[in-house]
Amino acid sequence: MKQAVLSATGLYTPPESISNDELVASFNTYVDRYNETHAAEIAAGERAPLSHSSAEFITKASGIESRYVVDKAGILDPDTMHPRIRTRGNDEPSLQCEMAMAAIEPCLAAAGRTAADIDAVLVACSNLPRPYPALAVEVQSALGGGAFGFDLNVACASAAFGIQTAADMIRSGSARRVLMVNPEICTAHLNFRDRDSHFIFGDVCTAALIEDADDVAPSQGFDIVGTHLQTQFSNNIRNNFGFLNRTETQPRTDADRLFVQNGRKVFKDVGPMVAEMIVDHLGAHALTAADVRRLWLHQANINMNTLIAKRVLGRPATAAEMPSVFAEYGNTSSASPVIVFHQYAGDLAPGEIGVMSGFGAGYSAGSVILRRR
């Protein structure tokens, strides 16, 4: 079997960012207007008033301080509270395709490759722009390569599933170079009127190139030592947006067609599940916590990651062992462990090992063991 190498990554960060204070000010204006509009019903006990959000709560509960977004004005406008994205014609590139290209270009440059070198494009992300044509085929066309492409959707674990799929292609010899890209516009499916979750997500795109080791310089990138995926059905993170919406006999509310979660339950279920998965995966490769120099974890909640790292390492992780980008990026779904890897992998010495892990809705989780070449 061939050896797969994660040879390079790329990151595209949208130019606009929203701080917790800005987000909370917009949310609280919405709440004040709602309570004013419904003052009579609230006074009569017929309707519950809405409560203010707080920047202190957000930072303490999640570790998030800001998030990059594709449209700041629309999200912060209390009359809109979602991004406003220009409708594109069929002959124009979609916004996610543009984001993908902006992450792919630095990724290819870092690997010393061009579009002509690519055999396959995988788009792996939580939210796709349409059912068809596949976004990956659009990206392939924008690249100008003769590759093939397909989309993969496994929520926040999508990048781990994408890396395993790419690595399997390399291992089996069906492709030599696979681009895996994660264009996430999470804010388009976030309910900015929901106090429990309005602060969680941001927008970003990451790309990773997975190649046949025979084609990669001996000191470039990371050997993919092993990949492991697992899923377990849960409704604790759910989005009922879908192609059957217009056929449903009971029309769904707007809120029901956006991201909804039972965050506390997710925290309790997913943290231990991911820790156990990583420990077992290391064990399957005759590795232990002592072999792990770094954890590149999905950025859903700093407290959840602290717990996962402690269970994996058997002690609290140092900041160097478990770097984070929560504060700056928030949760960017599938892209988030790739951002952490992109920013915090360059200092590993040859032979040193790290684990990348994505996890979220499904539930779905994946672990990728990487060794610096």
Instruction: In whole angstroms, give the CA distance from residue 120 to residue 199.
Output: 35
Q: Please say whether the beta carbons of 85 and 30 come within 8 A.
A: no
Q: Tell me whether residue 323 is exposed, middle or buried, using C-beta atoms within 10 angstroms of its C-beta: 0 to 12, 13 to 18, 19 or more.
A: middle
Q: Please say whether the beta carbons of 139 and 122 come within 8 A.
A: no
Residue nearest to ligand CO8 (CB): 360
**Neighbouring residues of 324: CB distance < 8 A, sequence distance ≥ 6:** 63, 299, 302, 305, 340
**Segment (H or E) for 57:** helix 55-62
Residue of 97, 107, 125, 156 marked catalytic: 156
**Neighbouring residues of 316: CB distance < 8 A, sequence distance ≥ 6:** 306, 309, 310
**Segment (H or E) for 357:** strand 353-360
- Chain positions contacting ligand CO8, by CB under 6 A: 53-54, 57-58, 61-62, 126-127, 155-156, 186, 189-190, 195-196, 201, 237, 259, 261, 263-264, 266-267, 300-301, 304, 331, 333, 360-361
Query: Residue 192 Cβ, how far from ligand CO8 at the closest point, in Å?
Result: 10
- State which residue, 5 or 128, has the beta carbon closest to ligand CO8: 128
> Would you call 107 a catalytic residue per the annotation?
no
Query: Residue 327 Cβ, how far from ligand CO8 at the closest point, in Å?
Result: 14
- State which residue, 7 or 331, has the beta carbon closest to ligand CO8: 331
- State which residue, 115 or 338, has the beta carbon closest to ligand CO8: 338
**Site of tokens 């629309």:** 74
Query: Residue 299 Cβ, how far from ligand CO8 at the closest point, in Å?
Result: 9
- State which residue, 26 or 53, has the beta carbon closest to ligand CO8: 53
Point out the residues that are catalytic: 156
